[in-house]
Amino acid sequence: MQYDMPTPSKPLNIGTRGSPLALAQAHETRARLAAAFDLPHDAFAIVVISTAGDRIIDRPLKEIGGKGLFTREIEDALLDGSIDIAVHSMKDMPTLQPEGLLLDTYLPREDVRDAFISLNASALSDLPQGSVVGTSSLRRQAQLRLRRPDLQVVEFRGNLQTRLKKLGDKVADATFLAMAGLNRLKMDDVPRTPIEVTGMLPAVAQGAIGIERRINDLRTADMLAAIHDGPTGQRLAAERTFLAALDGSCETPIAGLAELDGTSLRLRGEVLRPDGSGALNDDMTVLIEDGAAAGKEMATKLLERAGEGFFDWRAR
């Protein structure tokens, strides 16, 4: 079926949060669509939407509603037709989408690693005992407490620029950021040390950009198919199934990473207690087409190993 292509007078509207990183991701999406269909950039309009997660930065996410705080208003705009697609950082995305929406397009994945950021030290091991580390990520907090229980961990909300300013203001001695965000914003001047995944397993879907659409919008579905990166989709199918099977949320410290090698997919997963007092992990290699099944199997195995006692913190 032939569809009318977007034009500057009737653009395809791209919804996004307003942070510099979110805008960079939206611009990358626009550039890829424009190149794929030989259209001018102004045939795609970027629409900034404020989310509750952006507005409320003085409380931990788990206290105000979790991951959906960064997506709800954008998805509402998608459902009411105000925008045609929504661009998301995949590590912020709940594992279930609202009825009528579909998330099945991914751009090529960036560096998945975390970056250690400090004005005074080049690595986590260099921090003196009792140093203050700021992070809003429950996963990073738990991993940090597991590896360096001598450090003080404080809540550190805000976008990338806000967190860097807090370091300059000496609110904390160090923090963590995603290498993907630093790379996409070309922030080469930020002092960082990449942390290998063997030292700190990243968040599920870290470094990946996802594009959400209405299920019944066939024109948009065809356009997005032209920019979808298959290998990223294969990796995220395993990771997000793992997360969903663990009932992952901002209250559960979970890490996961799938990597491809030829026809094989290696999946690594980790579940932690928030206070860093315990962690369970697993490692599986399967055929790529079995990635989602491996994610579910790994989650089941970790839950069985954990037993009831491992998650006692949920009742506290």
- Rounded CA separation 31/44 (Å): 9
The whole model's pTM is what?
0.90
- Rounded CA separation 300/295 (Å): 9
237 has pLDDT over 50: yes
Kindly tell me the burial class for residue 168, based on how many C-beta atoms sit within 10 Å of its own C-beta (0-12, 13-18, 19 or more): exposed
* 124-129 mean pLDDT: 94
pLDDT tier at 130, thresholds 50, 70, 90: very high
Give pLDDT tens digits for 73-92.
999 999 999 999 999 999 98
pLDDT tier at 316, thresholds 50, 70, 90: very low
Say whether 92 is catalytic: yes
Domains, the chain, with CATH or none: 12-107+208-228 (3.40.190.10), 114-195 (3.40.190.10), 240-305 (3.30.160.40)
Tell me which H or E stretch contains 16: strand 12-16
- Strand, helix or coil for residue 119: coil
58 has pLDDT over 60: no
For residue 280, give Cα distances in angstroms to 15, 184, 217, 269: 38, 32, 42, 8
- Rounded CA separation 76/273 (Å): 34
Neighbour tally for 22: CB within 10 Å: 26
Closest by CA position to 66, among listed 200, 214, 247, 245? 247
Between 96 and 62, the more confident residue is: 96
Which residue among 84, 92, 173, 282 is the active-site one? 92
Give pLDDT tens digits for 104-121.
999 999 999 999 999 889
